[in-house]
Amino acid sequence: MKMQVLESHKELCTCCMEEHDVELVRVQEQMTFKELKVDYVAEYYYCNQAEEFYMEESQISENDLRMKDAYRRALGLLTSQEIAELRAKYGISQSDLCTLLGWGGKTITRYEGHQVQDRAHDSILKKLRQDPEWFLKLLTDARGTMSEEAYQRYYDRALQLYEESRDEYLRKSIAAEYARYREESYTGGVSLCLDKVVDVIRYFSDSTGVTNLYKVKLMKLLWYADCLAYKLHGKAITGLVYRALPMGAVPIAHDSIIDLKGVCYEEVDMGEGTAYRFLPSGTENYQALEEWEKGVLDRVIEKLGRMSKDEIVSFMHKERAYIKTAPRDVISFRYAESLQIS
C-alpha cells in the first residue's frame, strides 16, 4: 500500500506503547458504502516498530467524513464542505437555515457532518446556492420565526448576492448579443468591456459639464466618445456596437446596459411614457478608464455636454456616419474621420 508521509515526530506510540518517531501518513483507500465502491484519501498514524497503521478518535471521524464526501461526489451530491460554504455564503446559522427550509432543527448540522442527504434535499440546497432571489423569498416567508436582527442580517447579505448574480446574468446576456460582432469597423478595434461602459456612463453622469442626462442623450454621448477615440487614437473605448435608429446612434443591448451594477438612474413620468434620468454615482473612482480615455470624454463633454436632447439628436443626424448608414444597420467606425468634433 502506497503512503505519503505528511510529518514525523517523537511521541508515545499508542500502537506499541513505546516512545519513538511516529509518522502521520496519507493513504488511498477504497470502501463500499450503500452498495457503491468509493475511493478516498484517509489519514493514519504509522508505527514503524509494529509496521501497522492506527488512528486516534478524531481521525476515525475525519476519515469517515472523507469517505462519505467521496460517496457524495460520486453521486453528484453536495459535499459536507460545500453545504457549510453555502450556509457561510448567506451568513446564516445552521438552525435558522433549517427553519427557513422547514426542516428539523439538526438537519443541516447532520448534513455538514456524517449524514448523507437524499437527492430531494440536495436539489433544494443546490437551488439555494444558485438562487439568492429564492433565498429572499423564503426569508420573507419565515420572518416571524427568527429574531429581527438575524432576519435583517440575512436579508442584507442575500440582497447583495442577488444584485451580484443579476449583474453577472446581465453581463453574460449582453456578451452573447455581441458575440457575432468581430470586425474592427463594427467594434472600433476593441473587445466589449462592460467595466469601461459602466465607468464611461458614470463619468458622464458625475460631470458638472453634462446637463439633463437622459437616455437618448447618453446614447449619443457614448457613440461620440467611442468614435472620437477611434478618430484620435485608432481604437474605441468601450467596444460597443451602434445601430442607426431614428433618434441617432444607439448601442446594441442598450436596455440591458443601463441596468448594469454601478449605473444610477431614476425613472421619470413624462405623461406619455417613462424617461430615464441618469444620476451622479457618488464617487469619482473610474478604475477601468485610462487617462487618455478620460481626455476623450472631457472633450466630448466640452463639445456636447450642455446640448439638449433635441440639439444632440439634430447634431447626430448631420454626421456622415449616420447619413450613410441604412436605418437600423450597424454604424461603421470607418466614418470616424469625418466626425464633426475633434
Name the packing angle between helices 194-206 and 291-304 (round to 10°): 50
Highest-pLDDT range among 49-58, 200-209, 260-269: 200-209
Return the pLDDT at 163. 86
Q: DSSP letter at 331? A: P
Examine the domain organization and report whether 92 and 193 are in the same domain.
Answer: no
Examine the domain organization and report whether 201 and 265 are in the same domain.
Answer: yes
Phi, then psi, of 258 in degrees rounded to 5: -75, -10
Examine the domain organization and report whether 142 and 66 are in the same domain.
Answer: no
* Strand duo 248-251 + 3-12: pairing: unpaired
For the chain, what is the mean pLDDT? 94
The position carrying cell 476623450 is: 296
Highest-pLDDT range among 44-53, 148-157, 279-288: 148-157
pLDDT in tens, 304-334: 999 999 999 999 999 999 999 999 999 999 9
Examine the domain organization and report whether 211 and 159 are in the same domain.
Answer: no
In a domain? residue 13: yes
pLDDT in tens, 197-207: 999 999 999 99
Q: Count of domains in the chain? A: 3
Examine the domain organization and report whether 332 and 195 are in the same domain.
Answer: yes
Provide the CB-side half-sphere exposure for 341 (13 A, CA): 23
pLDDT in tens, 153-186: 999 999 999 888 889 889 999 999 999 999 999 9
Cβ neighbours of residue 203 closer than 8 Å, sequence gap 6 or more: 286, 289, 294, 297
Examine the domain organization and report whether 193 and 320 are in the same domain.
Answer: yes
Q: Give the residue-averaged pLDDT of 42-69.
A: 90
Look up the pTM and report it.
Answer: 0.67
Across 98-131, b (16+ Cβ under 10 Å) vs e yields bbbbeeeeebbeebbeeebbeeebbebbeebbee
Question: Which residue among 134, 166, 198 closes a domain?
Answer: 166
Neighbouring-strand partners of residue 32: 37
Q: Which three cell numbers stand for residue 164?
A: 451580484
Q: Give the residue-averaged pLDDT of 39-56.
A: 89
Examine the domain organization and report whether 50 and 195 are in the same domain.
Answer: no
* Strand duo 36-47 + 19-33: pairing: antiparallel
Whether the per-residue pLDDT at 138 is higher than 90: the answer is yes
Examine the domain organization and report whether 94 and 118 are in the same domain.
Answer: yes
Return the pLDDT at 272. 74
Whether the per-residue pLDDT at 2 is higher than 80: the answer is no
Return the pLDDT at 23. 86
Whether the per-residue pLDDT at 1 is higher than 80: the answer is no
Examine the domain organization and report whether 91 and 57 are in the same domain.
Answer: no
Return the pLDDT at 271. 75
Which helix (H) or strand (E) covers residue 111, if one does? helix 107-111
Coil vs helix vs strand at 153: helix
Name the packing angle between helices 80-90 and 148-178 (round to 10°): 100
pLDDT in tens, 96-113: 999 999 999 999 999 999
Return the pLDDT at 30. 93
In a domain? residue 328: yes
Examine the domain organization and report whether 204 and 275 are in the same domain.
Answer: yes
Do residues 154 and 91 make contact, with C-beta atoms less than 8 angstroms apart?
yes
Return the pLDDT at 112. 97
12 band by pLDDT with thresholds 50, 70 and 90? confident
Examine the domain organization and report whether 188 and 319 are in the same domain.
Answer: yes
Question: Which residue among 26, 52, 75 closes a domain?
Answer: 75
Sign of CA dihedral 285, 287, 291, 292: negative
Examine the domain organization and report whether 331 and 192 are in the same domain.
Answer: yes
SS3 content of the chain, % helix, strand, coil (to 5): 50, 20, 30
Q: Give the residue-averaged pLDDT of 29-42.
A: 94
Q: Which domain holds residue 160?
A: 80-166
Question: Which residue among 135, 166, 197 closes a domain?
Answer: 166
